[in-house]
């Protein structure tokens, strides 16, 4: 081989060069050659048209690029003997192996040493003819935990893993190294490492709906990409949830009837939904990615809902469709029984009203006017146990014992009036009549009032009517218990309750949390661990008339309450 200076137009690339990709990405070399010139000759060999470049293809492309900016000068080249393909391939391979990032660690450390000597990143970039970003990347790698850098040099760690580790604090790097060297542990590498660094899922800054000035945590930049990430996931989700709540409120204020906020990461299948205009009850589905990305699908209803609407329309009905009911059947049963217990206990103090109830049932009839005691049938043991602890139920049982004593009855059959499934009467008619003859009108009215209350049907329009007339306050008789919370499943409703008893800020901050988490926060307000925004809170379901939390409908007690309110005010 010998050194020659050859005109650029007499050079071309060789087919044997092993670099097939990236050879034209030469901006860094252009800067370097423009600044300090070509430091390493090209390796070439003669061919019939001049010379072909065996090693130094990127340098050749950089020189070709510079040729358009300035007068081209002869290029220093080492000329190989013609016809030696094997040697040419070996030379090209040897040169391209030396370009691997691991071999540049010494250069990275040299950059770090220059910084310690007072050189700025601008100085280093200008001196070596490279970009400032490239200097920052190499300084970040040079600053890695020393054992990690050694493992990288020894090819034990991949380049992508090294790049993600540059976003980690020293403590986090050491924690990762501990996992990497622990034979019983599994250290995350590659893309999974990025999620590990950010506590489960990386949260890009671009996914924030909130004003970024509200975030006072650390924002980590990826020097090898254009992404930036929030370091504090808890603070991010608090701000993001509040922003999502504002987005939902805006949709509702714009006239949308329903806005469904999905759980973070919950899949929303477009093919399970049908388009429905806003004016026809189409709703908005707000989707939230685990990386915090938020998107909205507007004017959709479920396919099942669309089928129900079509069926109703074909049958001549309105066919509005309501989607999933707000309350489960068990919850409706729970509410009916507790409300019933409170109303009939208060009826004990309203004998005149009890007479009118009796007259109404005699005239119009009811499904238990045989006469039978209300069976109070609970659909689960939990509801039955909850009812047993109701203060109104306890007071009602006490009055039953007093009435039984008035009548001189020694045997407790559970109820004074037989229930339908008891198949017969408890007492002899002549004996009861004879006893009533001996009592004054006040005592007889007390007995009659109790009988009317005990035969008041649960889940009936009369319960709603009496509750409204007597202004029954459920707080005097009922306290939210574990069964109530176990039966409450609808996240939208739970979040609305949290907004009532706590604050809008708290509710918004927990908007995308699980129902279990939101109920835990709600209980904390009710048991005094948090300061409630509203004392003596009770859910809208315990008001007379009952009030819903959504526009979905499907609550029988609400419909009954509206009906009786309309009748009472007519």
Arithmetic mean of pLDDT over the chain: 83
pLDDT, residue 169, reads 81
pTM passes above 0.85: no
Nearest CA among 442, 444, 426, 425 for reference residue 434: 444
Whether residue 24 is predicted with pLDDT greater than 90 in this model: the reply is no
C-alpha span between 482 and 9 (Å, rounded):
86
Percent of the chain with pLDDT strictly greater than 70: 87
Would you give the end-to-end CA distance of the chain in angstroms? 112
In the prediction, which pLDDT does 59 show?
87
DSSP annotation of 419 reads P
CA distances to 6, 258, 264, 297 from 496, in Å: 80, 14, 18, 22
Euclidean distance between CA atoms 193 and 282, whole angstroms: 41
What pLDDT digit, counting tens, does each position of 492-509 carry? 999 999 999 998 999 999
| Least confident span in 19-33, 365-379, 396-410, 543-557 | 19-33
Stretch (H or E) spanning 159 = helix 159-165
What confidence category does residue 88 fall into, taking pLDDT thresholds of 50, 70 and 90? low
Model pLDDT for residues 158-207, shown as the tens digit of each residue: 878 888 888 888 888 898 998 889 888 888 887 788 778 776 678 888 99
| % the chain with pLDDT above 90 | 33
CA distances, 185 to each of 159, 180, 182, 193 (Å): 21, 7, 5, 14
**How far is it, in rounded angstroms, from Cα 509 to Cα 243?**
9
Instruction: Calculate mean pLDDT across residues 422-435.
Output: 74
Residues 90-115: tens digit of each pLDDT? 455 445 433 433 345 666 677 777 77
How far apart (Å, rounded) are the C-alpha atoms in residues 113 and 106? 10
Environment class of residue 202 by beta-carbon count within 10 Å: exposed (0-12), middle (13-18) or buried (19+)? buried
> Of 51, 554, 553, nearest to 257 (Cα)?
553
Calpha distance 109→118 (Å, rounded)? 15
Residues 408/410/414/416 CA torsion (nearest 10 deg): -20
What is the spatial distance between Cα 237 and Cα 292, in angstroms, rounded to a whole number? 8
């Amino acid at each position: 081989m010998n050194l020659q200076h050859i005109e650029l137009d007499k050079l071309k690339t060789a087919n044997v060069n092993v670099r097939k990709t990236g050879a034209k990405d030469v901006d860094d070399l252009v800067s370097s050659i423009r600044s300090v010139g070509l430091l390493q000759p090209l390796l070439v060999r003669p061919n019939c048209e001049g010379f072909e470049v065996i090693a130094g293809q990127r340098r050749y492309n950089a020189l070709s690029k510079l040729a358009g900016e300035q007068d081209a000068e002869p290029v220093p080249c080492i000329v190989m003997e013609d016809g030696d393909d094997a040697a040419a391939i070996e030379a090209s391979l040897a040169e391209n192996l030396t370009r691997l990032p691991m071999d540049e660690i010494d250069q990275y450390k040299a950059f770090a040493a220059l910084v310690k000597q007072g050189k700025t990143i601008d100085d280093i970039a200008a001196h070596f003819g490279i970009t400032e970003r490239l200097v920052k990347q190499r300084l970040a790698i040079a600053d890695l935990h020393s054992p990690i850098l050694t493992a990288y040099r020894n090819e034990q760690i991949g380049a992508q893993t090294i790049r993600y580790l540059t976003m980690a604090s020293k403590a986090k790097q050491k924690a990762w190294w501990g996992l990497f060297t622990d034979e019983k542990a599994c250290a995350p590498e590659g893309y999974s490492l990025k999620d590990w660094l950010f506590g489960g899922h990386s949260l890009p800054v671009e996914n924030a709906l909130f004003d970024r000035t509200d975030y006072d945590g650390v924002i980590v930049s990826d020097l090898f990409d254009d992404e930036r990430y929030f370091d504090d996931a808890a603070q991010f989700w608090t701000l993001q949830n509040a922003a999502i709540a504002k987005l939902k409120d805006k949709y509702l204020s714009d006239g949308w009837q329903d806005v469904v906020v999905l759980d973070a990461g919950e899949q929303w299948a477009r093919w399970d939904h049908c388009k429905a205009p806003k004016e026809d009850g189409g709703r908005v589905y707000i989707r939230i990615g685990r990386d915090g990305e938020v998107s909205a699908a507007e004017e959709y209803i479920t396919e099942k809902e669309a089928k129900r609407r079509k069926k109703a329309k074909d049958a001549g009905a309105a066919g509005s469709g309501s989607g999933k009911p707000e309350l489960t059947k068990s919850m409706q049963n729970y509410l009916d029984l507790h409300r019933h217990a409170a109303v009939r206990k208060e009826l004990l103090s309203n004998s005149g009203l009890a007479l009118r109830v009796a007259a109404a049932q005699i005239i119009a009839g009811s499904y238990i006017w045989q006469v039978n005691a209300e069976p109070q049938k609970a659909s689960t043991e939990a509801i039955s146990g909850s009812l047993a602890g109701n203060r109104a139920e306890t007071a009602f049982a006490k009055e039953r014992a007093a009435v039984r004593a008035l009548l001189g009855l020694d045997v407790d059959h559970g109820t004074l009036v037989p229930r339908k499934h008891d198949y017969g009467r408890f007492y002899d008619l002549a004996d009861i009549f004879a006893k009533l003859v001996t009592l004054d009108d006040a005592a007889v009215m007390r007995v009659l009032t109790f009988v009317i209350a005990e035969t008041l049907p649960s889940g009936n329009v009369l319960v709603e009517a009496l509750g409204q007339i007597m202004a029954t306050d459920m707080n005097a008789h009922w306290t939210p218990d574990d069964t109530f919370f176990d039966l409450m499943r609808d996240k939208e409703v739970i979040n609305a309750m949290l907004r009532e008893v706590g604050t809008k800020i708290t509710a918004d901050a927990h908007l995308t949390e699980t129902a279990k988490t939101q109920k835990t926060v709600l209980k904390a307000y009710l048991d005094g661990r948090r300061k409630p925004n509203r004392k003596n809170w009770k859910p809208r379901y315990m008001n007379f008339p009952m009030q819903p939390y959504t526009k979905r409908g499907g609550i029988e007690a609400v419909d009954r309450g509206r009906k009786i309110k309309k009748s009472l005010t007519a």
